[in-house]
Every structure is written in structure tokens, then in C-alpha cells.
């Protein structure tokens, strides 16, 4: 009997040892790699595929050849909503690290340590442009608390550093929960963009045309500063080239005011025909806020820039028609006097359209409103051309209207109630993305001068372009930052409202897409659906739900005990 018991004990120990060894082997294999290929995997069963990385991100991670270190500052005693964002950041970094062991990360609380340590640490962070957010939360109707958080991640790679803000400024009426949800949706994009900037040593060259009255350098300073992180930037004087060099990967035409000569337009056309990309930011009507100062009314006039035929052939018409919208940003106007001094108030100005991007395209997805100044209405032509795809990027709200010229604009009129019945047009278009093979307007009218210029440059005339892309925006000021007392303001900053609109993200997204539509910008296409808790309803019904959560489990346990006891009694009573 004792020998049999020892035999059973030995067999049990052997089975336990084999099971334990099998678990260890499975665990090792589940975390191992064969070269660059992991031996583990996962299935993303979520509706919005929030745990699936884009192909470009996977390629970036697989191509890392040096350690990439990420320091996350969003940690410590956080409000519940920010803790959810911090958890999502960690999940994303775990997912990233699962594809390359060279990626490591840590969470560091800037507010930890003694008061002196916190002060010194916060000072150093502020010098790097890292400033905290103060979050106000209400635990109940009578209790309100404030918490300081640092929603930032810092990437280190090869001696370079990239600071990634996890939150963007939210427009008025945009709830904190929606802001955090948007931050979650853009985590992969923001991290992938940081990695791209740190690892890419071959920066594409972007040219800004000069010589045709384009925006002066101070007014494009913020945009150029942002672009220099990832691109080489330089001026392009069209009459200094026989042909625009193709090593210029993108050409930016920022609010020209002087007409292009025919030979300049021809160079732009052949640049496109050879696969060049162009961002057109055009004011087709000569009008801005300064024109209204010191006068009762102003008659804007259309601009003849010499590019109408070119854009018409590519698929859009620049009309001399202003678009007005009740959904507008504000300006300051004098409404009277008070104490002998002018009384200034901010009021919505329908000529300054607040365009709210709507659509699934990566350029505009998850993008906040954009401030457009005196935009004109675009029209598409040749819509039956199968070689060119047109995508509407920016449009008006359903409460818009057109203003045809000649017609005066008067600031004093803004003091009175608008005739809202006239604002009955929906979706006036202000920006289009054009993709495909474009046809040259010079195909049947190539002049001897242009033909001679091509021969001198050893180039051949092209009637049809390589597959390429361009964006046409009917507002030149979308690229212009304000200057306040000689200080450059952020692109999109509204000096009257003291709020920054999403002009800069829109322009940066546009440039990213034009240069590489399958690159980092593809991560913006992800859509993390927001499933919000109604806090007011939860507080109002808190007692009911507490009772349900306490009593129902006890009732279930009681019923199970009674049923189990009843079945047990019947079973043994028969015996």
C-alpha cells in the first residue's frame, strides 16, 4: 500500500514537473524572435482596430538600428481620465516594444521629490517648452479639485531629442473627455512622427516661391520653423531656373499678389508634369482686415495672377466670389464710446470662416476647426476626367452664402443683426486635394520661347504628368502667422480671440500627405470611438447602482446556495 502511494506521488510530481516545463517553454517561445520576426502574435477584435499598428509604423520599428528611449511624464497622482490616457500610452509603447527590443521606456513623475527638486525640474522642463496642464475635476456638486499634469513624452535616439505633446489645445465647447479621446486616437501618429523625425537623415527639400509678392518671411516664420524639424527649406526664384529642379520635392506658393509671367507658369506646369507636388495657397480676391481700417467701406477686387488657366486644366476654377459663413471666427470692432474712449468688442465676422474639417481623409481626420480669412469659393471642372481624383478638404457650414464682386465690405455693418435667411448654402468648397495624372495646358500652344528654354536645359516637353498630387486652398492667409510687437505668433493664432486654431496641423498634414501618402500620415486614419459615461446621470443614480452592485451579487449567491442545497438533499435522500 505504501509502495503504491509512493508510485502515485512520483507520477503526480512527474506530471507537475512536465506541465511546469511545458509552460516555461511556451512562455519563452511566446516572447522570442526568429531574426526580426516575433514568434508571438495577437488578434485585434475591436471594432475600430485600435490595437493594430499601420504598416508604416511597423516598418519604422523594424528599421531601428540604435536604442530608442521614451520618457513619459504623464504619471503620478492623475485624475481618472488622464490615468486612462497614461494607461493607453503604456499600452502603445508595449505594442511598439513588442516589435523591436531596441525600444525602451519609463514613466517619470516631474512632481515627485522635495519642493526644491520639483522647482528645479519644472524650471528645466519649461526651458525645453514643456509646460504643465492644470486639470479641474468635480467629484461632486460641492467639491472641485485642481491637479497639475504633464501630458508629454520625450523621445531620445542617436543623440537627438523629440518632444511629443500628448494633448492639443481644445476649441471652445470641446469637452475634456473628447480631447482625451482624440489624444488616444492620435497616439500612434504622434509617436510614429517623432520616430520618423529622429531616424530620417534624408530630409526632403521644400521650396517656397519668392518674387511674386508672396507672404514675407516673418509671416511664414512659424510654419518654416516647424518644417525645419523634418525638411530642408529654401526659396525658389522662378526666373533663376531654366526648369524647376526635381530635387525640390514640394513647392509652396504662399499668397502671391504679383501676376506670374507666362514663362513662370510654364515652369510650374512642367514641374508638375515631371511629378512635382505643389501646395497652392491663393487669395483670388485682394482683401484683408487691414484694408478695412480707417474707412467706411472697401471694395475688394479680384486678382489676376496668371494661373487661372493652369488650375482650370488641372481640375479647379478659382472664382472671384467670397464665401461667408455664420460659423465664423471673431474680430475686434469699435461699437461706440465709453468715458470718452472707444469701446471695442469682439464679434463674429462672417468673412472669417471657421471651417470644421469633416471626413475620413488622413489630412483632416481628427482635426480641430481652421480659421480662414476672406476665402473664395472653389469650383471643380472636368469632373468626368478619370485620371484626376478630387477630394474636398475644407468647406463651409450649412449656414453660408456667396458674395459676388464688385460689392462693398463695411465693418460698421457688423454692428447690426445679419440677415440670416440669406445664409442658406451648404458646403461651399475652400480647399481640394487633386491626385492623378494631369494634362498640360501648353499641349497645343507651346511657344517658341518656352520650347527654346527646354532645349537649353536639355529637357523634353511633357503633355501628361507622372502620377502626382497637389492641394489648392482658396485662402493665402492660411499659411500666415500673426506678428504682435515684432514677435512671431503660432500659425492659426487669432489675436482677437486669443485662441490658436488648427491651421498649422492642417498645413503640416497636407505637406506630409503630398510627400508620402503611405507614410506617417496614414496613422491619422485610425478612428478610436468615444464611449462616454454620463457623469451627471451616474451621480444622480449613484445610490441605485451601488445598491444593485451590492445586493444583486448577494441574491445570486443566495439563490445558488438554495438550489445547490435543494439538489444535494434530493440526491442523498433517495439513497
Q: What is the DSSP string of 391-440?
A: EEEEE--SSEEEEESS--B-GGGGGS---GGG--B---EEEEEEEE--B-
pLDDT at 550 over 90: no
The residue behind cell 462616454 is: 532
DSSP H or E run through 531: none
Tens of pLDDT, residue by residue over 169-226, are 666 655 667 778 888 888 998 999 999 989 888 899 999 999 999 999 999 999 999 9
List the beta bridge partners of residue 250: 206, 277
Q: Please give the Cα distance from 335 to 342 (Å, whole number).
A: 8
Q: Please give the Cα distance from 152 to 163 (Å, whole number).
A: 7
CA atoms within 13 A on the CB side of 260: 24
pLDDT band at 141 (very low <50, low <70, confident <90, very high): very low
Average pLDDT rounded to a whole number, residues 472-477: 96
Q: What is the DSSP letter of 463?
A: S
pLDDT for position 178: 75
Residue (of 410, 178, 131) closest to 292 by Cα position: 410
Strands, E, within 222-340: which ranges? 232-237, 248-254, 277-281, 285-286, 301-302, 316-325, 328-338
Average pLDDT rounded to a whole number, residues 72-77: 89
pLDDT for position 527: 58
Residue (of 445, 450, 396) closest to 425 by Cα position: 396
What is the number of residues in the chain?
575
Question: Cis before residue 502, ω within 30 degrees of 0?
Answer: no
Report the alpha-carbon angle 340-346-348, nearest 5. Answer: 140
Q: How far is the CA of 40 from the CAs of 28, 32, 220, 505, in angstroms? A: 10, 7, 48, 37
pLDDT at 533 over 70: no
Average pLDDT rounded to a whole number, residues 247-252: 96
Q: Give 141: exposed, middle or buried? Use CB within 10 Å, 0-12, 13-18, 19+.
A: exposed
pLDDT band at 268 (very low <50, low <70, confident <90, very high): very high
- Structural domains of the chain in order of their starting residue, each with its CATH number: 33-197 (3.40.30), 202-525 (3.40.50)
List the beta bridge partners of residue 237: 210
Tens of pLDDT, residue by residue over 507-521, are 999 999 999 998 888
In the numeric block, which cell numbers belong to residue 497?
480671440
Q: Please give the Cα distance from 303 to 410 (Å, whole number).
A: 20
Q: Cβ(250)–Cβ(511) under 8 Å?
A: yes
Residue (of 184, 173, 19, 17) closest to 90 by Cα position: 184
Could you tell me which residues come within 8 angstroms of residue 275 by beta carbon, excluding any fewer than 6 positions away? 246, 465, 466, 467, 468
In the numeric block, which cell numbers belong to residue 270?
512642367
The residue behind cell 514613466 is: 107
Cα pseudo-dihedral 154, 507, 54, 230, rounded to 10? -50
In the numeric block, which cell numbers belong to residue 458?
536639355
In the numeric block, which cell numbers belong to residue 423?
445664409
In the numeric block, which cell numbers belong to residue 518?
503611405
Q: What is the DSSP letter of 100?
A: -
Q: Which residue has the higher pLDDT, 546 or 36?
A: 546
CA atoms within 13 A on the CB side of 510: 31
- This prediction has a pTM of 0.80
Q: What is the DSSP letter of 172?
A: T
In the numeric block, which cell numbers belong to residue 5?
502511494
Q: What is the DSSP letter of 479?
A: G
Amino acid at each position: 500500500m505504501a509502495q503504491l502511494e509512493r508510485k502515485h506521488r512520483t507520477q503526480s510530481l512527474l506530471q507537475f514537473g512536465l506541465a511546469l516545463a511545458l509552460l516555461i517553454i511556451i512562455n519563452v517561445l511566446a516572447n522570442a524572435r526568429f531574426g526580426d520576426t516575433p514568434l508571438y502574435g495577437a488578434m485585434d477584435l475591436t471594432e475600430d482596430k485600435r490595437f493594430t499598428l499601420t504598416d508604416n509604423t511597423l516598418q519604422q520599428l523594424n528599421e531601428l538600428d540604435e536604442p530608442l528611449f521614451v520618457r513619459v511624464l504623464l504619471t503620478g497622482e492623475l485624475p481618472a481620465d488622464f490615468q486612462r490616457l497614461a494607461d493607453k500610452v503604456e499600452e502603445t509603447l508595449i505594442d511598439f516594444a513588442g516589435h523591436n527590443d531596441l525600444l525602451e521606456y519609463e514613466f517619470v513623475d516631474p512632481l515627485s521629490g522635495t519642493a526644491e527638486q520639483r522647482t528645479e525640474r519644472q524650471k528645466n522642463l519649461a526651458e525645453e517648452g514643456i509646460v504643465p496642464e492644470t486639470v479641474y475635476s468635480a467629484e461632486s456638486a460641492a467639491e472641485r479639485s485642481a491637479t497639475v499634469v504633464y501630458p508629454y513624452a520625450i523621445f531620445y535616439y542617436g543623440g537627438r531629442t523629440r518632444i511629443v505633446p500628448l494633448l492639443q489645445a481644445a476649441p471652445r465647447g470641446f469637452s475634456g473627455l473628447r480631447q482625451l479621446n482624440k489624444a488616444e486616437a492620435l497616439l500612434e501618429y504622434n509617436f510614429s512622427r517623432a520616430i520618423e523625425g529622429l531616424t530620417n537623415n534624408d530630409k526632403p527639400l521644400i521650396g517656397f516661391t519668392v518674387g511674386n509678392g508672396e507672404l514675407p518671411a516673418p509671416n511664414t516664420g512659424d510654419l518654416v520653423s516647424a518644417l525645419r524639424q523634418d525638411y530642408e527649406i529654401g526659396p525658389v526664384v522662378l526666373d533663376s531656373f531654366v526648369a524647376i529642379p526635381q530635387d525640390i520635392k514640394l513647392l509652396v506658393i504662399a499668397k502671391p499678389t504679383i501676376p506670374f509671367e507666362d514663362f513662370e507658369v510654364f515652369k510650374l506646369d512642367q514641374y508638375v508634369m515631371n511629378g512635382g507636388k505643389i501646395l497652392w495657397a491663393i487669395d483670388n480676391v485682394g482683401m484683408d482686415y487691414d484694408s478695412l481700417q480707417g474707412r467706411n467701406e472697401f471694395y475688394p477686387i479680384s486678382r489676376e495672377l496668371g494661373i487661372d488657366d493652369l488650375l482650370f486644366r488641372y481640375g479647379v476654377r478659382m472664382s472671384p466670389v467670397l464665401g461667408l459663413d455664420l460659423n465664423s471666427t471673431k474680430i475686434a470692432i469699435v461699437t461706440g464710446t465709453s468715458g470718452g474712449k472707444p469701446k471695442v468688442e469682439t464679434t463674429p465676422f462672417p468673412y472669417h470662416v471657421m471651417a470644421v474639417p469633416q471626413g475620413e481623409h488622413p489630412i483632416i481626420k481628427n482635426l480641430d476647426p481652421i480659421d480662414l480669412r476672406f476665402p473664395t469659393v472653389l469650383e471643380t471642372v472636368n469632373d468626368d476626367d478619370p485620371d484626376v481624383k478630387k477630394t474636398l478638404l475644407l468647406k463651409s457650414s450649412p449656414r453660408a452664402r456667396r458674395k459676388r464682386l464688385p460689392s462693398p465690405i463695411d465693418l460698421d455693418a457688423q454692428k447690426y443683426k445679419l440677415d440670416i435667411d440669406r445664409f442658406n448654402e451648404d458646403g461651399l468648397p475652400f480647399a481640394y486635394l487633386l491626385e492623378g495624372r494631369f494634362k498640360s495646358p501648353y499641349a497645343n500652344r507651346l511657344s517658341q520661347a518656352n520650347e527654346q528654354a527646354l532645349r537649353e536645359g536639355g529637357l523634353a516637353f511633357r503633355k501628361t504628368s507622372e502620377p502626382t498630387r497637389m492641394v489648392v486652398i482658396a485662402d493665402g492667409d492660411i499659411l500666415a502667422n500673426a506678428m504682435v510687437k515684432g514677435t512671431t505668433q503660432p500659425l492659426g493664432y487669432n489675436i482677437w480671440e486669443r485662441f490658436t486654431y488648427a491651421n498649422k496641423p492642417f498645413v503640416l498634414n497636407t505637406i506630409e500627405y503630398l510627400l508620402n501618402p503611405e507614410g506617417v500620415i496614414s496613422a491619422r486614419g485610425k478612428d478610436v470611438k468615444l464611449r462616454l459615461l454620463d457623469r451627471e446621470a451616474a451621480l444622480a443614480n449613484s445610490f441605485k447602482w451601488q445598491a444593485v452592485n451590492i445586493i444583486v451579487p448577494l441574491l445570486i449567491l443566495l439563490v445558488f446556495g438554495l438550489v445547490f442545497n435543494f439538489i444535494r438533499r434530493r440526491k442523498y435522500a433517495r439513497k
